Structure 1
Amino acid sequence: MTALEENDTGTAGHTPAPSGSSLSPAAASAGRHLWMHFARMHGRDGANPVPVITKGEGMHLWDDRGRRVLDGLAGLFVVQAGHGRRELAEVVARQASELAYFPVWGYTTPPAAELAERLAHLAPGELNRVFFTSGGGEAVESAWKVAKQYFALRGRPAKHKVISRATAYHGTTHGAMAITGLPAMKKDFEPLAPGGFRVPNTNLYRHPEFDGDAEALGRWAADRIEEAILFEGADTVAAVVLEPVQNSGGCLTAPPSYFARVREICDRHDVLLVSDEVINAFGRHGYPFACTKFGFTPDIITCAKGMTSGYGPLGAMITTDEVIEPFLEPGVTFPHGYTWGGHPVSAAVALANLDLMEREDLYGNVLARADAFGATLRKLLDLPIVGDVRGDGYFWAVELVRDRHTRETFGAAERELLVKRFLPGALFDNGLYCRPDDRGDVVVQLAPPLIAGQAEFDEMEQILRHTLTEAATLLD
């Protein structure tokens, strides 16, 4: 089989070992026993083996065939500080030797308590209370449950609905999936938790009637949120959930005025505003929390991924003092939690990671180089297959089109060929790990570790140029 291998993740690709060679033990075991996430598994123990990543160092990954590949996705929007940071690994070992585990179910550990205080200081406004989870989907799930109970404790139990944006991805648990705006991802698991409703997103490229006027699109899209609140009944809506830069659909941005308008709408109708920053937080846009950059203060932040740079699993929901106030009344409990939430090893490495990011000024690196990253990727606009390049910070998408003049996207067969079969393997074979994705329109996403500089930007652009030229030829 060639690089046209099947891979549903859009985040990795791998061609088979040369004819006559045997699979590595890891690939053979995975083909027989591993149930992979978001991936097709047919034939993985044969000519189409599971890709095996064996090592990471700085900006690069190595596979079990010894190939070095540039990590253009920070693992999965996670590895902010880069791979192979020995100082972070040593923190993991020290904390595990001292106290490997204890829950925060009515108790705490020094790392969990210290990290909660640290996140409260980093978050804007009065977002001072931190609820730890294992990851991002659990943080979103927790936010919806908090919003429901918050209004119930205030004597308004009918306020339970949540509004999110079309194409947005917020997680795979039943509650988070009900907030997700991707019907194809949900159809096999319906019925989901009731109460999720969708409004338009801020994809300027797919709204040509606004003629590139982001402010006008922002006003229109924000007004659709108020329209939905009024249509459902403000006395039934608990929360609006949005990402500062929307991941699914391809790094969809909005002007700060959009978020300010949404904040006003939520205040007017007594609705909690949730900023889902599972991807956006911890430097991806040059700030600890992206809502700060985009000029709004939510009632709840959900975060995960870059908090530990991937050196331990951890997520969090952060709320304002006002949100937690009714939960502090005598006899009140939030009957919700996770075994691994606030894990002391993960909390300890998160603290060390935040120290490292500040010491090496990774926030400043993103702010200083983000424009250059975008400008380098925009060179690809001379390719007929490239329709748009958009994003912010170290989070960009290249949208691919069938016809750049009409902005026509691809049909089902072409998407299958591009996103599932050709691009993942071809990009990896050419030396770049990134994310082809068609949950909305067809895009390739780039989100490198925050240590990346111009040399890496240039390498990404050159590999993309070569691979996308191949893709266009293949389609022809």
Structure 2
Amino acid sequence: MYDENSNAALQQSARDHLWMHFTRMSSYDAADVPVIVRGEGAYVWDAQGRKYLDALGGLFVSQLGHGRTDLAEAAAKQAAELAFFPLWSYAHPTAIELAEKIAGHAPGDLNRVFFTSGGGEAVESAWKLAKNYFKITGKPMKHKVISRAIAYHGTTHGALSITGLPGLKQQFEPLVPSTFRVPNTNIYRAPVHGDDPEAFGRWAADQIAVAIENEGPDTVAAVFLEPVQNAGGCFPPPPGYFQRVREICDEYDVLLVSDEVICAYGRLGHMFGAERYGYQPDIITSAKGITSGYAPLGAMIASDRLYEPFAHGTETFLHGYTFGGHPVSTAVALKNFEIFENEKINEGVLEREGAFRGTLEKLLDLPIVGDVRGDGFFYGIELVKDKTTKETFDEAESERLLRGFLSKALYDAGLYCRADDRGDPVVQLSPPLICDQSHFDEIEQKLRAVLTEAAGLL
């Protein structure tokens, strides 16, 4: 029940003490901080009782939706038995069971599971493992990393160094050296082969070989790629892209890291995005949907080959996190996997993804909508000034459009999603995997109303 006095106190406390993440805090100088207090299924409610469709899945996280008592009960049961113990030279049952479960789903020989607290830590772990592995196998110069332009890989110093978004990095320089960028797979703005996806994919993949040659193959350790690139607005891989990347990595003895912090655990209709697109990584990084958000957890999944040097003698991977593989989090993840299997979550995504795409593509009749792209339950809608020329917005226009209008208008319309301009301006959608046509229609209708109004303001 909404209580005006208690909400006023909560607002004041938020202004006085809470520093929110990736948030322009001055936005709330003359406006209330949105306070979400409850969730059920695909919806959340704020402190004033207003209802919102969670069309972003929290932050690409809430695979099974909100209010699942079975997941909450799994957490409570484990907390009563063993609330905490670290995985430093000791183990506990749920971590062991979950590692086996993940390895059983991971492609190929990715059988070694290193737990973290979240996605950024999984990326850090992957880079450290790559460097450590090559040092102890006679290739100590291999330490550099290649990633894609506009790609986001995390906020810790190593993960941020791999990230391809200058605007997120410059205020924290100097970062970890030796990371390099190649073109991404945004065919909507392809500099070459824009009318031939296969040729474009080959060209984009070959730029990785060019970068390796430019830096020297004996110095490059890994390539970090998302199955569907998040930042910039959901860039799926062109046909043959990852197969060519795998060939390049094999040729130069470079590790292929599939960063699946968003794309794993059903987001694309498979447990892992690499499975959807038919390629074999050396490492997968994952988090988010592993627990459907009911507890924090991440995992780096490595091949037997990478584990082998640490399996004998005195070699140790001198790396870890206090809360990596937390007993409660791993218990929740096990229950999450059980629900995926019993309720056929991945199968449901594959059955309904065409309907989701088709519903969103209705928005292409709007003058402001240039492109609708993505796969599974993971989509970006790119906004443009001119559909014919694909002219985008300048920085000031993007500021007015996204922060000055869209973010608030979408929220006021009862739709929680993301208006983002880390690349060209986009609206991102990543709803819970339980959503059906009624939710797709609601998303389309609310977006249509807000985007129509936005177009009228331009």
Q: 3-state DSSP class of the match of 1:54?
A: strand
CA contact (8 A) 2:86 2:326 kept: yes
Distance 2:192 2:158 in 1: 34
Partner of 1:28: 12
Amino acid at match of 1:342: G
Distance 2:373 2:85 in 1: 43
Partner of 1:174: 157
Q: 3-state DSSP class of the match of 1:42?
A: helix
RMSD: 1.4
Distance 2:343 2:140 in 1: 47
**2:337 paired with 1:337:** no
Amino acid at match of 2:446: I
**2:435 paired with 1:449:** no
**2:186 paired with 1:195:** no
Match of 2:340 among 357, 372, 391: 357
Write the deviation string for residues 78-102 of structure 1: whole angstroms up to 9, x where unpaired.
Answer: 0001100001001111100111000
The Cα of 1:23 is off from its aligned counterpart by 4.4
Query: How has the CA–CA distance of structure 1 residues 416 and 243 changed in structure 2, closer, same or farther, with 3 Å as cutoff?
Result: same
**2:406 paired with 1:423:** yes
Distance 1:228 1:246 in 2: 19
Distance 2:151 2:191 in 1: 20
Describe how 1:39-58 pairs up with structure 2 within 5 A: 39-42=23-26, 44=28, 46-58=29-41
Describe how 1:9-20 pairs up with structure 2 within 5 A: none
Match of 1:80 among 56, 63, 80: 63
The Cα of 1:21 is off from its aligned counterpart by 8.1
The Cα of 1:315 is off from its aligned counterpart by 0.1
Amino acid at match of 1:326: P
Distance 2:194 2:182 in 1: 21
**2:271 paired with 1:288:** yes
Amino acid at match of 1:28: Q
Partner of 1:402: 385
Q: 3-state DSSP class of the match of 1:70?
A: strand
Partner of 1:142: 125
Match of 1:217 among 195, 200, 206: 200
Describe how 1:60-459 pairs up with structure 2 within 5 A: 60-207=43-190, 209-459=192-442
Q: 3-state DSSP class of the match of 1:124?
A: coil
CA contact (8 A) 1:148 1:159 kept: yes
CA contact (8 A) 1:275 1:302 kept: yes
Write the deviation string for residues 278-304 of structure 1: whole angstroms up to 9, x where unpaired.
Answer: 000000001000100100010000000
Distance 1:401 1:124 in 2: 39
Distance 1:88 1:26 in 2: 28
The Cα of 1:255 is off from its aligned counterpart by 2.8
Amino acid at match of 2:18: L
Distance 1:254 1:343 in 2: 34
CA contact (8 A) 1:23 1:49 kept: no
Query: How has the CA–CA distance of structure 1 residues 48 and 22 changed in structure 2, closer, same or farther, with 3 Å as cutoff?
Result: farther
CA contact (8 A) 2:192 2:200 kept: no
Amino acid at match of 2:370: G
Distance 2:71 2:149 in 1: 38
Amino acid at match of 1:26: L
**2:444 paired with 1:461:** yes
Distance 2:27 2:283 in 1: 43
The Cα of 1:113 is off from its aligned counterpart by 0.6
Q: 3-state DSSP class of the match of 1:436?
A: strand
CA contact (8 A) 2:103 2:110 kept: yes
Distance 1:294 1:457 in 2: 25
Amino acid at match of 2:429: L
The Cα of 1:208 is off from its aligned counterpart by 6.3
The Cα of 1:135 is off from its aligned counterpart by 0.3
Distance 2:239 2:59 in 1: 26
The Cα of 1:256 is off from its aligned counterpart by 4.3
Q: 3-state DSSP class of the match of 1:470?
A: helix
Runs of at least 5 residues in structure 1 that lack an aligned partner in the other structure: 1-16
Partner of 1:10: none
CA contact (8 A) 1:132 1:314 kept: yes
The Cα of 1:48 is off from its aligned counterpart by 1.3
| 206-215 or 396-405, which deviates more | 206-215
Q: 3-state DSSP class of the match of 2:240?
A: helix
CA contact (8 A) 2:185 2:238 kept: no
Distance 2:5 2:267 in 1: 41
CA contact (8 A) 1:256 1:295 kept: no
Distance 1:155 1:27 in 2: 58
Q: 3-state DSSP class of the match of 2:25?
A: coil
CA contact (8 A) 1:28 1:49 kept: no
Distance 1:196 1:27 in 2: 42
Q: 3-state DSSP class of the match of 1:69?
A: strand
Q: Which runs of 4+ in 1 moved over 4 A?
A: 20-23
Write the deviation string for residues 26-77 of structure 1: whole angstroms up to 9, x where unpaired.
Answer: 3221111001000011263x52121100000001000011001101000000
Q: How many pairs are equivalent? A: 457
Distance 1:381 1:451 in 2: 25
Write the deviation string for residues 133-182 of structure 1: whole angstroms up to 9, x where unpaired.
Answer: 00000000100000000000101110000000000000000000110000
TM-score of the superposed pair, with normalisation by structure 2: 0.98
Partner of 1:13: none
CA contact (8 A) 1:162 1:196 kept: yes
Distance 2:418 2:151 in 1: 16
Write the deviation string for residues 376-412 of structure 1: whole angstroms up to 9, x where unpaired.
Answer: 1010000000000000000001000011111111111
Partner of 1:8: none
Q: Between the two proteins, what is the percent identity of the paired residues? A: 64
Distance 2:386 2:192 in 1: 18
Amino acid at match of 2:22: F
Distance 1:424 1:115 in 2: 38
